[in-house]
Structure 1
Amino acid sequence: MSLFAFITAITPGPNNFLLASSGAQFGVRQSLKHLVGIRFGIVCLLLFCAGGLAVALEQHPVVYKSLRYAGLGYMLWLVAKLIFLSGMSGSKNRGAPLSFLQAIVFQLGNIKAWMASLALVTSYSVPEQYWLSVLNIVVVFTVFGFFANSCWACLGSWIKAHLNSAEKQRMFNLCLGALTLVSLIPAFEL
């Protein structure tokens, strides 16, 4: 489970691309609320999955589609914000990192986070000690996820030294925005 949690959390996806951008734009310290919001949002997803929300959403497809499209809309808005972010450290319009609450809400439309949460709960929960095993899943995925997400924020911060012009920062934002869009393609499938 630890290996699965680490690989799932460290591989590229919407959260990691946005954290890399945030690290490059604002630094690791300013990105901490964003990072902690992601982890809190993932814990909520794990608990939703463990509590049977996925089954309830299957039984109510209109609610499922509404949540899905609202989440996708929010994710696309954040990608647009990333792509059009000015980015220069001295710029007055450089934006702000995602807040704690924005990062939590972002998870509702994050297909990778939902799939990882469902896979973890269904694969590693133990029926005889269900909630204890869910707690174990939450702790393991939070620890490995925090480490993995921190690596992406630090990578972005490290890359910042090479983004010494407005054009380079715009290209970096455009690339991360495009990668985030590509990572959302599975969410558009019916």
Structure 2
Amino acid sequence: MNEIEILWLPLVTFALSSSITPGPNNIMLAASGVNYGFCRSISHMLGVSIGFFILFLAVAFGLGSVFTRYPQPQTGLKYVGSVYLLWLAWKIATASTVTGI
């Protein structure tokens, strides 16, 4: 078996499990649909779909092997991602509540 045949099964498994699980993107889309309606949520749906496709391409073209060879960018992404998640958590924690529902 060549390298493409060996990596095909994990790639398909990743794509299938990522696309059907009720993750945060699906929850955000459901909330957007409830709050703004279907038509106003179409751009959100397209953004999630395009983002997933870009993630799928990055995995398909071997981004993991780049991080294996050069671990410094991955470490940097971990720190930047952690700071961003903390900032999002702070925004959520300090957001005003919606009344009248």
What range is the shorter-chain TM-score in? 0.5 to 0.7
66-75 or 22-31: which moved more?
66-75
Write the letter of the residue equivalent to 1:22: S
Percent of residue pairs identical: 34
Write the letter of the residue equivalent to 2:47: G
TM-score, length of structure 1 as denominator length? 0.37
Q: Which has the larger radius of gyration?
A: 2
Deviation of 1:70 (Å): 2.7
Q: What CA RMSD, in Å, does the superposition of the two structures yield over aligned residues?
A: 3.0
| Structure 1: gaps of 5 or more residues | 88-165, 169-190
Q: What is the correspondence of 1:1-190 to structure 2 with a 5 Å cutoff?
A: 5=16, 8-75=18-85, 77-78=87-88, 81=91, 84=95, 86-87=97-98, 166=99, 168=101
The alpha-carbon distance between structure 1 residues 78 and 19, as it changes in their structure 2 partners (threshold 3 A), is: farther
Deviation of 1:85 (Å): 6.0
CA distance in 2, matches of 1:34, 1:75: 20
2:8 is aligned to none
1:99 is aligned to none
Deviation of 1:64 (Å): 0.8
TM-score, length of structure 2 as denominator length? 0.62
The structure showing larger relative contact order (alpha-carbon pairs under 8 Å, at least 6 residues apart) is 1
The alpha-carbon distance between structure 1 residues 68 and 31, as it changes in their structure 2 partners (threshold 3 A), is: farther
Write the letter of the residue equivalent to 2:39: R
Deviation of 1:9 (Å): 2.3
SS at match of 2:22: coil
The alpha-carbon distance between structure 1 residues 50 and 10, as it changes in their structure 2 partners (threshold 3 A), is: closer
Deviation of 1:39 (Å): 0.9
| Structure 2: gaps of 5 or more residues | 1-11
Deviation of 1:27 (Å): 1.9
CA distance in 1, matches of 2:18, 2:40: 24
Deviation of 1:55 (Å): 0.8
